[in-house]
Structure 1
Amino acid sequence: MTSSELWTRETADRYDAEETEMSSAAVLGPTLDFLAGLAGNGRALEFAIGTGRVGVPLRERGVPVAGIELSEDMAAVLRRKIDADALPVTIGDMATTRVPGEFTLVYLVYNTISNLLTQDEQVECFRNAARHLAPGGRFVIELGVPPLRFLPPGQVAVPFDVSERHLGFDTFDLAEQLLVSHHFTREDGDGAAEVRYRRGSSRHRYAWPAELDLMARIAGLERERRVADWDGTPFTEHATKHVSVWRKPD
Structure 2
Amino acid sequence: MKQDDTWNDETAAAYDTEDAGMFSSDVLGPTIDRLADLARGGRVLEFAIGTGRVAVPLRARGVAVTGIEMSPAMVAQLRRKADEATIPVILGDMATTRAPGDFTLVYLVYNTISNLLTQAAQVACFRNAARHLKSGGHFVIELGVPELRKLPPGQDAVVFRSDPDYIGVDTYDVLNQHLTSHHFRFGAGREARLLRSHHRYIWPAELDLMAELAGFRLESRHADWVKSPFTAESPSHVSVYRLTERIVSG
1:198 lines up with 2:193 in the alignment: yes
Q: Contact 2:17–2:23 (CA<8 Å) still a contact in 1?
A: no
How far off its partner does 1:49 sit? 0.4
Q: How does 1:163-202 map to 2 (within 5 A)?
A: 163-188=163-188, 194-202=189-197
Q: Which amino acid aligns with 1:48?
A: A
Q: Distance in 2 between matches of 1:107 and 1:206?
A: 18
Q: Which amino acid aligns with 2:233?
A: H
The 3 A distance-change label for structure 1 pair 5 and 171 is same
Q: Which residue of 2 aligns with 1:129?
A: 129
Q: Which residue of 1 aligns with 2:89?
A: 89
Provide the identity percentage: 61
* TM-score normalised by length of structure 2: 0.95
Q: Distance in 2 between matches of 1:90 and 1:244?
A: 25
How far off its partner does 1:19 sit? 7.8
Q: Contact 1:4–1:117 (CA<8 Å) still a contact in 2?
A: no
The 3 A distance-change label for structure 1 pair 6 and 91 is farther
Q: Distance in 1 between matches of 2:200 and 2:95?
A: 14
SS at match of 1:201: strand
How far off its partner does 1:18 sit? 8.1
- 1:11-59 CA distances to partner (integer Å, 9 max, x unpaired)? 0001113883211110000000110000011011000000000001000
Q: Which residue of 2 aligns with 1:216?
A: 211
SS at match of 1:82: coil
Q: Which amino acid aligns with 2:88?
A: P
Q: Contact 2:6–2:197 (CA<8 Å) still a contact in 1?
A: no
* TM-score normalised by length of structure 1: 0.95
Q: How does 1:28-177 map to 2 (within 5 A)?
A: 28-177=28-177
How far off its partner does 1:5 sit? 5.0
Q: Which residue of 2 aligns with 1:191?
A: none
The 3 A distance-change label for structure 1 pair 103 and 236 is same
How far off its partner does 1:89 sit? 0.4
Runs of 4+ deviating beyond 2 Å: 1-6, 17-20
Q: Contact 1:173–1:179 (CA<8 Å) still a contact in 2?
A: yes
Q: Contact 2:6–2:196 (CA<8 Å) still a contact in 1?
A: no
Q: Which residue of 2 aligns with 1:14?
A: 14
How far off its partner does 1:3 sit? 7.3
Stretches of structure 2 that go unaligned for 5 or more consecutive residues are 246-250
Q: CA RMSD in A?
A: 1.4
The 3 A distance-change label for structure 1 pair 41 and 243 is same
1:226 lines up with 2:205 in the alignment: no
Q: Distance in 1 between matches of 2:226 and 2:142?
A: 12
How far off its partner does 1:249 sit? 2.0
SS at match of 1:17: coil
How far off its partner does 1:195 sit? 4.6
SS at match of 1:134: strand
Q: Distance in 1 between matches of 2:18 and 2:70?
A: 20
